[in-house]
Amino acid sequence: MQRIEKLDELQKALGYTFSNPDLLDMALTPPSYRGRNPDTVKSDNQRLEFLGDAVYGLLASEHVYCNCPDLNEGDLTLHVTHMANGRSLAELARLFDLGDYILAVSTPVDERSIDRTLEDALEALLGAVWCDGGYVAAEQLFKTLIAKLPAMPEERWFDNPKGALQELAQYHGWPDSPLYTLLESEGPDHDPVYTMKASVYGGYEAQFAAGTKRAAEAGAAEALIRILKDNGFEV
């Protein structure tokens, strides 16, 4: 299937047709592809991803504010965080098979790299729609996306996984627990990615990557709590 036909297929799935399809193509062009094809590819999706990140945050905040009138500021923030975290965005991208349309020089070998590519492409897609059709078009696509967004977890510890993990460690008397370790820091200054590991006594551990150390620690704590829960610990 030719590239133009594939992009037409994606537009039908998204329910939006671009006036300028070059914007769609750019949104699906990661920097790695441009770097390998400098003579033929002049633009990648970094700038659109930057814009789309802000667009998604705005639309998510508006959605939660309008649809959850009884929530206080803290709970509103929690819901937006769930909607906008990397895992949610990567999952949304998978639900629309976005990976089938992203230009790639090779298939990433680790799951985090795959998620990051999907997350960036989805945000870039929103940025492209904003540039092509403005607020109304971006809102239309946002509603199409969140219709498939997994529901927010209902576990009592979801709003404070680090605190819940601390309580669990204290309850069991685990020494030097929990412990948070920075495993990796990568990416440009304007868009860093931190990978943190959370561990507790007994060899249980989990890791998570996010744009801030705080968010990465919280994600790692949440992942570790799920592991502990699966291993029979009451949380």
Q: Are residues 127 and 45 in the same domain?
A: yes
**Structure-token match 């062009």, residue found:** 29
Q: Are residues 113 and 216 in the same domain?
A: no
Q: Are residues 31 and 126 in the same domain?
A: yes
In a domain, 119, yes or no: yes
Report the predicted TM-score, pTM, of the whole model to 2 decimal places: 0.67
CATH classification of the domain holding 39 = 1.10.1520.10
**Of these residues, 25, 49, 123, 132, which one is catalytic?**
123
Q: Are residues 199 and 89 in the same domain?
A: no
User: Into how many domains does the chain fold?
Assistant: 2
The two three-digit tokens of residue 151, written as one number: 């529901």
Among 144, 116, 143, CA closest to 45: 116
Domain that holds residue 208: 161-230
Q: Are residues 58 and 168 in the same domain?
A: no
Q: β-strands 193-200, 179-186: how paired?
A: antiparallel
The two three-digit tokens of residue 28, written as one number: 């699906």
Q: Are residues 46 and 131 in the same domain?
A: yes
In a domain, 195, yes or no: yes
| End-of-domain residue from the set 117, 146, 175 | 146
In a domain, 64, yes or no: yes
Q: Are residues 99 and 209 in the same domain?
A: no
Backbone torsion region of residue 108, taken as left when φ is above 0, otherwise alpha when ψ lies between -120 and 50, otherwise beta:
beta
**Of these residues, 25, 53, 115, 119, which one is catalytic?**
53
Q: Are residues 93 and 122 in the same domain?
A: yes
Active-site residue 186, yes or no?
no
Other beta carbons within 10 Å of 19: 9
In a domain, 152, yes or no: no
Q: Are residues 23 and 75 in the same domain?
A: yes
In a domain, 137, yes or no: yes
CATH classification of the domain holding 212 = 3.30.160.20
Active-site residue 100, yes or no?
no
CA atoms within 13 A on the CB side of 56: 29
In a domain, 63, yes or no: yes
In a domain, 121, yes or no: yes
Sign of the CA dihedral 15, 17, 18, 23? positive
Q: Are residues 46 and 88 in the same domain?
A: yes
Cβ–Cβ < 8 Å for 94, 118:
yes
* Residue-level pLDDT, tens digit, the chain, 235 residues: 688 888 999 999 999 999 999 999 999 999 888 888 888 888 899 999 999 999 999 999 999 999 989 878 767 876 787 788 777 888 889 989 999 999 886 655 566 778 888 999 999 999 999 999 999 999 999 999 988 876 655 554 455 788 888 888 887 889 999 999 999 999 887 778 999 999 999 999 999 998 888 888 988 998 899 899 888 877 6
Q: Are residues 40 and 65 in the same domain?
A: yes
